[in-house]
A and B are shown apart, each in its own frame.
Chain A
C-alpha cells in the first residue's frame, strides 16, 4: 500500500476503511505463530484425507491408506471380548451345574451373562425381574410346573413347553368345556372345589358338588389332594399361586379351555452354554430347588 495511514494515538497502521466519517479500524494482523498453526492444520487435514476414509464417492467412499474402518474396529473389540470370555465359557461347558453353583468365580460370570441373556430372550414374556405375568410364570418363587432343579430348568429352556420340539414338555390339560366333556355347571362346581383346596372360602355346597367331578376328571393329573404332578406339568392347586389368576372366573376359564401356554424351545436358537447359564441364573433367582 502506497499511502500507509498511521493512527497517531496508538502508532498502529489503520486498514484505511472509514465509518461514520471518522471511525477507522486499526490493522492488527493475526499473530504469525497463529497463522502458521492454521496452515499446519490445513496440511494436516490433507494428510488426513489421504490416510483415513474421507470423501464420499458415487459408489462408496475413499478408504484411505491406513484402511481404517470403525465397523472393523467394533468387530475387533467384540471378537476380543468374546476371546476373553472363552475360558469361562469353556469351563461352564465342561463343569456340572451343581459344581458351577459352588464356584463363586464362575457363578459371578454366569449371573452377569445370564442376566444379559435373560433380558434379551426371556424378559419379553417373563418380565425384566422374572416376575412373570398372567400366563407367564413367575420364576422367583418356589412353585415349579416342570421342576425347579438346575437340570429341570435347563431342560425346560432347551426344549420348551408344548413347543413342538420332540423332547418338549407336551402334556396338555383337556379342554373340558370347549370339547363338551363337562357342563358349565360342573365346571363352576369344580372351580369352587379347587378354590376350597387353597383354603379360599366360597360356596360350600357347590364345592361339595365339585368334589365328585374333581375326583373323576382332575385327580388323575393333579392328584387326589390337588398337589399336582411334576412330570405332567400339572400345577399344585393347593398353594396360593395361580398362573392364570386365582378367582373363580379365572379357574372356570382354565378348566373350560385347558389353557396350554407355550414356551419356545431355545436349543436351536441359543448355544448349550448360554442355555446352561440361563438355567443357573433362573435357579439363582431365589426359588431354585
Chain B
C-alpha cells in the first residue's frame, strides 16, 4: 500500500512536539509492525492508550454482552421436570447429553453440533468477506479478555504514559503494589473464567459448593486451574502475540477478502503527504494527516494502520476513534481512517468512488451455504423422533429349534424415550403369522412397557414360530417388523428385522 518514503513527507521538524496547534505528537513506535519486528529481538511491550468514541463504546457494549453471556449462562435455570437437570445450558458428558434450553442433544445426535459448527464457520466467512475481521476485532475471546485485562491494568496503573513511567521506575513500594494488584486482579478474572467454564459441564450451584468445599471431581479442578492459568497468560501476559504468532485465522482470512470487503483503512489519498501542521499554515498541497500518531498509541496490536492492511491488524476500529477525535480537534472532516474497500481506496484517488457492493458471488455463495445447512438442520430437528426403537438380533445362536418343532429367535429391543415424562409403550410384531412374542420380565402377553423420561430401556424379546406355521418361513431370513406404539398418543414406530431359521 502507500508506505511513504521519508523524503516525501513534509516532515521538516521531526523533533516537533506538536503535530498541530493543541495536538500533542505522541512518542510512539509501531513496535509490532512487520518492519519493526525482528526475529532476534525481544518483544517490545505495547501500552495501548484509552480511546474514546463510537467504536470504543460499541466495543464496551460487546464486551459486556459477551462476557455477561459467558459468565451468567450456566446459572440460568430451565425446568425439564423431575429426573432431568434444570440447567439451561449444560454439556452433560457424564450422561451423554447436551442441553441447550429447550433443545437437548443425545450422543448419537452430535451431528447437530457439526451443523452448528458448519454454520458458524460459514457465518465467519460471510462476515469476513463483507466487513473484514469483525470476529477478531470485536468478539474473539482473546480480544475481549485482553481488552478486559488492559482495563484492569489501566485501573491500577493509569493510562499509557503512567504505565510507561511505572515500568521505567525502580522497584519501589508503589510499583510493587500497583503491579501486584494488577496481576492479582488478572488471576481473579482468570479464576472467574475458569470457574464459569467448568460450570457448563455440571450443575453450577452444586459444583460451586463442591469447588469451595473441596468435594468437586478432580477433572473440575484441573480445568478450573487450566482456564484460570490460560486466561491469565493469554489475556494478561501474551496478548497480541497470540494473534500474531499463534492464531491461524490471520493467515486464513486473507483468502476471504476481496476488493469489495470493508476493511479498516487509512485513506492515503486524503492523508498524504502527512506532516505536522503549524498554526496558520495552509492545508494546500498536503494531506490531512498531521502525524500525531494517536492511531498508533491506541493500537492494542502495536502497529501503524497507515502502513495499510497487514496480518497483525485485528481490525478493532480503535484507531478510527483516535483519529476522528483528532480530526474534530483540528477542524477537519472525520473519517481519515475508516471502514473502506480496496476498490474505493484505489478509485477514490481518481474521484470515482463506487457504492458498496454487498451482493457479490462470494457473499451470495456463503449465504446460500448457510441457508442450506440451516434448512437441513431445521428439517432434521423438526422431523426428530422423540421415541426411537432399535432391534438387535441374537447372533449366537441365530435361532433355536424347540422340542415341538417350532423355531425361536432372540432379540434385544431398545426403546428410547426423549420425552420429558415417562411413557408407556406396547409392542407387537407384523409379518410373521401366528408367531408368539414373549418379553422377558413380563409374564403376560401385550404388557404395557414403561420407559422413564430421557432413558433407554433394553428388553430381551423372544419370537417363536410354532411348528404349525413353519411352512410360512419361506426363507432363511424372513423379514418381519417390530412395532412399538406409544399409548399416550397412539403414534407407532417400527423397525424391520428378519426371522432366522434353518433352510428347508
Contact of B397 among A140, A240, A241 (CB under 8 A): A140
* Chain B residues with CB under 8 A of A141: 400-403, 408
Contact indicator A142/B402 (Cβ below 8 Å)? yes
Contact indicator B397/A236 (Cβ below 8 Å)? no
Residue among B38, B400, B404, B408 with max Cβ neighbours from chain A (10 Å): B400
* Chain B residues with CB under 8 A of A241: 401-403
Q: A10-B40, A104-B441, A286-B408 are in contact. Are A129 and B395 (CB under 8 A)?
A: yes
Chain A contacts with B in 50-105, Cβ cutoff 8 A: 104
Task: Give the CA-CA distance A138 to B399 in the complex, in Å.
Answer: 11
Contact of A239 among B394, B396, B404 (CB under 8 A): B404
Task: Give the CA-CA distance A128 to B396 in the complex, in Å.
Answer: 7
Contact of A286 among B38, B395, B396, B410 (CB under 8 A): B410
> Which residue in chain B gives the minimum CB-CB distance to A140?
B400
> Which residue in chain B gives the minimum CB-CB distance to A228?
B403
Does B433 make an interface contact (CB < 8 A)?
no
Does B405 make an interface contact (CB < 8 A)?
yes
Q: A11-B40, A284-B440, A286-B410 are in contact. Are A239 and B405 (CB under 8 A)?
A: yes
* Chain A residues with CB under 8 A of B395: 129
Q: A11-B40, A286-B408, A286-B410 are in contact. Are A143 and B403 (CB under 8 A)?
A: yes
Contact indicator B403/A129 (Cβ below 8 Å)? no
Does A287 make an interface contact (CB < 8 A)?
yes
Does A127 make an interface contact (CB < 8 A)?
yes
Task: Give the CA-CA distance A157 to B73 in the complex, in Å.
Answer: 60
Could you tell me the dominant secondary structure of chain A's interface residues? loop
Chain B contacts with A in 107-129, Cβ cutoff 8 A: none
Task: Give the CA-CA distance A131 to B399 in the complex, in Å.
Answer: 9
Task: Give the CA-CA distance A286 to B396 in the complex, in Å.
Answer: 13
Does A172 make an interface contact (CB < 8 A)?
no
* Chain A residues with CB under 8 A of B397: 127, 129-131, 138, 140
Does A42 make an interface contact (CB < 8 A)?
no
Does A12 make an interface contact (CB < 8 A)?
yes
* Chain A residues with CB under 8 A of B156: none
* Chain B residues with CB under 8 A of A127: 396-397
Does B269 make an interface contact (CB < 8 A)?
no
**Min CB–CB distance A23 → chain B (angstroms):** 17
> Which residue in chain B gives the minimum CB-CB distance to A286?
B462
Q: A127-B396, A131-B396, A286-B410 are in contact. Are A240 and B40 (CB under 8 A)?
A: no
> Which residue in chain B gives the minimum CB-CB distance to A199?
B405
> Which residue in chain A gives the minimum CB-CB distance to B408?
A286
Contact indicator A239/B403 (Cβ below 8 Å)? yes
Contact indicator A142/B40 (Cβ below 8 Å)? no
Contact indicator B441/A236 (Cβ below 8 Å)? no
Task: Give the CA-CA distance A236 to B401 in the complex, in Å.
Answer: 14
> Which residue in chain A gives the minimum CB-CB distance to B404?
A239
Contact of B405 among A10, A131, A240 (CB under 8 A): A240
Task: Give the CA-CA distance A31 to B396 in the complex, in Å.
Answer: 63
Contact mask for chain B residues 379-420; partner A; CB cutoff 8 A; 1 contact, 0 none: 000000000000000111100111111001010000000000
Contact indicator A240/B462 (Cβ below 8 Å)? no
> Which residue in chain A gives the minimum CB-CB distance to B397?
A131
* Chain A residues with CB under 8 A of B401: 141, 240-241
* Chain B residues with CB under 8 A of A10: 38, 40
> Which residue in chain B gives the minimum CB-CB distance to A101?
B441
Task: Give the CA-CA distance A129 to B409 in the complex, in Å.
Answer: 13
Number of interface residues of B (CB under 8 A): 17
Task: Give the CA-CA distance A240 to B462 in the complex, in Å.
Answer: 20
> Which residue in chain B gives the minimum CB-CB distance to A132?
B397
* Chain A residues with CB under 8 A of B441: 104
Contact of B402 among A12, A143, A284 (CB under 8 A): A143
Contact indicator A129/B396 (Cβ below 8 Å)? yes
Residue among A128, A241, A284 with max Cβ neighbours from chain B (10 Å): A241
Contact mask for chain A residues 274-289; partner B; CB cutoff 8 A; 1 contact, 0 none: 0000000000101100
Task: Give the CA-CA distance A128 to B441 in the complex, in Å.
Answer: 23
* Chain A residues with CB under 8 A of B396: 127-129, 131
Contact indicator B405/A286 (Cβ below 8 Å)? no
Task: Give the CA-CA distance A145 to B361 in the complex, in Å.
Answer: 79
Task: Give the CA-CA distance A253 to B111 in the complex, in Å.
Answer: 61
**Min CB–CB distance A98 → chain B (angstroms):** 12
Contact mask for chain A residues 110-133; partner B; CB cutoff 8 A; 1 contact, 0 none: 000000000000000001111100
* Chain A residues with CB under 8 A of B403: 141-143, 236, 239-241
Contact indicator B405/A287 (Cβ below 8 Å)? no
* Chain A residues with CB under 8 A of B440: 284
**Min CB–CB distance B428 → chain A (angstroms):** 20
> Which residue in chain A gives the minimum CB-CB distance to B394?
A129
Task: Give the CA-CA distance A140 to B399 in the complex, in Å.
Answer: 9
Task: Give the CA-CA distance A141 to B394 in the complex, in Å.
Answer: 14
> Which residue in chain B gives the minimum CB-CB distance to A144?
B403
> Which residue in chain A gives the minimum CB-CB distance to B405?
A240
Task: Give the CA-CA distance A61 to B231 in the complex, in Å.
Answer: 45
> Which residue in chain A gives the minimum CB-CB distance to B443?
A102
Chain B contacts with A in 342-395, Cβ cutoff 8 A: 394-395
* Chain B residues with CB under 8 A of A130: 397
* Chain A residues with CB under 8 A of B402: 141-143, 239, 241, 287
Task: Give the CA-CA distance A240 to B406 in the complex, in Å.
Answer: 9
Contact mask for chain B residues 422-442; partner A; CB cutoff 8 A; 1 contact, 0 none: 000000000000000000110
Contact of A12 among B40, B404, B410, B462 (CB under 8 A): B40
Contact mask for chain B residues 298-310; partner A; CB cutoff 8 A; 1 contact, 0 none: 0000000000000
* Chain A residues with CB under 8 A of B394: 129
Task: Give the CA-CA distance A246 to B402 in the complex, in Å.
Answer: 14
Task: Give the CA-CA distance A140 to B462 in the complex, in Å.
Answer: 11
Task: Give the CA-CA distance A240 to B421 in the complex, in Å.
Answer: 48
Chain A contacts with B in 204-263, Cβ cutoff 8 A: 236, 239-241
Contact indicator B40/A287 (Cβ below 8 Å)? no
**Min CB–CB distance A10 → chain B (angstroms):** 4
* Chain A residues with CB under 8 A of B404: 239
> Which residue in chain B gives the minimum CB-CB distance to A141?
B400
**Min CB–CB distance A14 → chain B (angstroms):** 13
Chain A contacts with B in 135-174, Cβ cutoff 8 A: 138, 140-143
* Chain A residues with CB under 8 A of B40: 10-12
* Chain B residues with CB under 8 A of A142: 402-403
Across chains A and B, which 3 residue pairs bring their CB atoms closest together, nearest first?
A129-B396, A131-B397, A239-B403
By a beta-carbon cutoff of 8 Å, the part of chain B in contact with chain A is 38, 40, 394-397, 400-405, 408, 410, 440-441, 462
Q: Given contacts A140-B410, A141-B401, A240-B401, could you give 12 more A-B pairs where the C-beta distance is less than 8 Å?
A: A10-B38, A104-B441, A127-B396, A128-B396, A130-B397, A140-B408, A141-B402, A239-B402, A240-B403, A241-B401, A287-B400, A287-B402
Q: Can you list 26 A-B pairs with a CB-CB distance of less than 8 A?
A: A10-B38, A10-B40, A11-B40, A12-B40, A104-B441, A127-B396, A128-B396, A129-B394, A129-B395, A129-B396, A129-B397, A130-B397, A131-B396, A131-B397, A142-B402, A142-B403, A143-B403, A236-B403, A239-B402, A239-B403, A240-B401, A240-B405, A241-B401, A241-B402, A286-B400, A286-B410
